[in-house]
Amino acid sequence: MDVIVCVKKVPDTAEADVSVDAGGREINKERLTFAINEWDNYAVEEAIRLKEEDEGTVTVVTVGGKDKEDILRRSLAMGADKAIRVDMEDPEDSFVLANVLCTLIKDQKFDLVFFGAQSGDFNSGVTGAMVARMLGISHAAMVNGVEVLDGSIKASRELEGGLNEIYEIKLPALFTIQTGINEPRYVSISGIRKARKKPLDVMTPEDVGVTEVKPMLSLEKMYLPPPGKIAEIIGGSPEEAAAKLASLLKEKGAF
């Protein structure tokens, strides 16, 4: 099985203090840390597992500047065979991005293409299915289980409330991968260093043959949510706060 995995580098904002920059169209990114999109990490792991079960290759692809290369190196260290970076600014617009990825992928040899179900920064969740449609191949979104059959894949899609639905999908196909499908392996710094010898191709948009397309969305502005209702904060040291909360819980009848 030859698998292509599309990966994106995203800022970690779950625990960060996020502010919008002066232009009002982007957040301040200087103090944020970046990593491979959580969903994409599961996708890379799944591709490597398929290769290990049977045979084939795993190619990881990202569209972005040189600062994005570390997520490709990390994926190579996990066990991917080859990486491609399309050297252009990571397109803000999903349709523009899908166009670049489709143009690149259509000339590659593959049985399967994996995307993340969504990217953790904008949660669009559209690029995978768009690329499948542009390539003219079958797809399934929110896949949380993959089993290889002869010429097809048995794929489990995650639905609401813990329910799954199972499809049989003919190859070639494209899946968007949901978190929890596997346990991504750990990569060490020395592992990343060893993977330096693996090929990482840098292609210009011209090499890929990218044509200009019109974005589908235009961003007007970004802003912080207006302050709304907020919990009554119980202050003090952890012990003091815990004592007050314990009394409150008792008073309300929790125990």
Partner 1 sequence: MTVYILAEHRRGELMDVTFESISAARRLNDEVVAILLGTDLADHAEKVAKYADKVLVVEDERIENNTEAYTQVIGEIIKKDKPKVFLMGNTSMGMDIAPALAIDLDSPIATDVVGISEEGGRIKVNRSVYNGKVLSDLVLREAETSVIAIRSGEFSAADLEEKNGEITKVDSPLKETIENKKFLEFVEPVAGAVDITQADVLISVGRGIKDKDNLPMAEELADAVGGVVSCSRPVVDYDWLPKDRQVGTSGKTVKPKFYLAFGISGAFQHVAGMKGATMIVAINKDIKAPIFSVAQYGIVDDLLKVMPALTEKIKELKS
Ligand X SMILES: Nc1ncnc2c1ncn2[C@@H]1O[C@H](COP(=O)(O)O)[C@@H](O)[C@H]1O
Ligand Y SMILES: Cc1cc2nc3c(=O)[nH]c(=O)nc-3n(C[C@H](O)[C@H](O)[C@H](O)COP(=O)(O)OP(=O)(O)OC[C@H]3O[C@@H](n4cnc5c(N)ncnc54)[C@H](O)[C@@H]3O)c2cc1C
Residues lying near ligand X in the complex (CB under 6 A) are found at 6-8, 37, 39-40, 61-64, 90, 94, 97, 115-116, 118-119, 122, 124-128
Residue 90 near which of ligand X, partner 1, ligand Y, none (CB within 5-8 Å, type-dependent): ligand X
The entry of ligand Y, ligand X, partner 1, none near residue 7 (CB within 5 to 8 angstroms by kind) is ligand X
15 binds ligand Y (CB under 6 A): yes
Picked from ligand Y, ligand X, partner 1, none, the partner binding residue 225 (CB below 5 to 8 A depending on kind) is partner 1
Binding mask 41-80 for partner 1 (x = CB under 8 A): ----------------------------------------
- Taking the C-alpha atoms of residue 58 and residue 43, their distance in angstroms, rounded to an integer, is 11
Integer Cα distance of 103 and 101 in angstroms: 5
Member of 59, 62, 99, 118 binding ligand Y (CB under 6 A): 118
CB of residue 88 vs ligand X: minimum separation in angstroms? Answer: 9
- The DSSP bridge pattern shows strands 164-170 and 152-158 to be antiparallel
Nearest-approach distance from CB 38 to ligand Y, in angstroms: 8
Using alpha carbons, select from 60, 69, 70, 134 the residue that is nearest to residue 97: 134
CB 47, CB 56: distance < 8 Å: no
Q: b/e per residue, 36-50, with b = 16+ CB within 10 A?
A: bbbbbbbbbbbbbbb
Q: Output 151 or 161, the one with its CB closest to ligand Y.
A: 161
Residues in the chain: 255
217's contact among partner 1, ligand X, ligand Y, none, with CB below 5 to 8 A by partner kind, is: partner 1
Site for partner 1 (CB under 8 A): which residue of 53, 65, 209, 248?
Answer: 248
The yes or no reply on residue 14 touching ligand Y (CB under 6 A) is yes
Contact between 43 and 66 under an 8 Å Cβ cutoff? The reply is no
Total residues at interface with partner 1 (CB under 8 A)? 86
Tokens of 248: 């409150």
What does the DSSP 8-state code read for residue 164? E
Element at 127 (helix H, strand E): helix 127-135
Q: Which one, of 37, 44, 41, lies nearest residue 59 by Cα?
A: 44
Of 226-245, binders to partner 1 (CB under 8 A) are 228-234, 238-239, 241-243, 245
